[in-house]
Amino acid sequence: MFNKKNYEICVSKICEKQIEIIERVFDRLTAVSNNSSHLRNVVDDLLDLSELSNNRMKLNLQTFNFYKLVVDVVMNVVFTTLLIR
């Protein structure tokens, strides 16, 4: 037989499970969003390469700080990883 306390315990456990499910769905949707963004960037890069090979685009050669680029990429990966967790 259910009394008020048992009912509250059951409802709270159901709510906890629902929250866990929602968090997992959110994590997976975030991963899908990130992956589709990466895929879009890859497709854009491939299109750019295609334009370069067909001489429809010219390269603009510039010097850059390779160390700063690597640090920025690593920091971005670390920051993104921390956000996902």
How does residue 82 score in pLDDT terms, banded at 50, 70 and 90? confident
Q: What percent of the chain has pLDDT over 70?
A: 95
pTM, two decimals, is 0.51
CA distances from 81 to 5, 7, 74 (A): 41, 39, 11
Q: What is the pLDDT of residues 39-56, one digit of tens each?
A: 999 999 999 889 888 888
Q: What is the pLDDT of residues 9-45, one digit of tens each?
A: 889 999 999 999 999 999 999 999 999 999 999 999 9
Q: Average pLDDT of the chain?
A: 88
The C-alpha R_g of the chain, in whole angstroms, comes to 24
How does residue 78 score in pLDDT terms, banded at 50, 70 and 90? confident
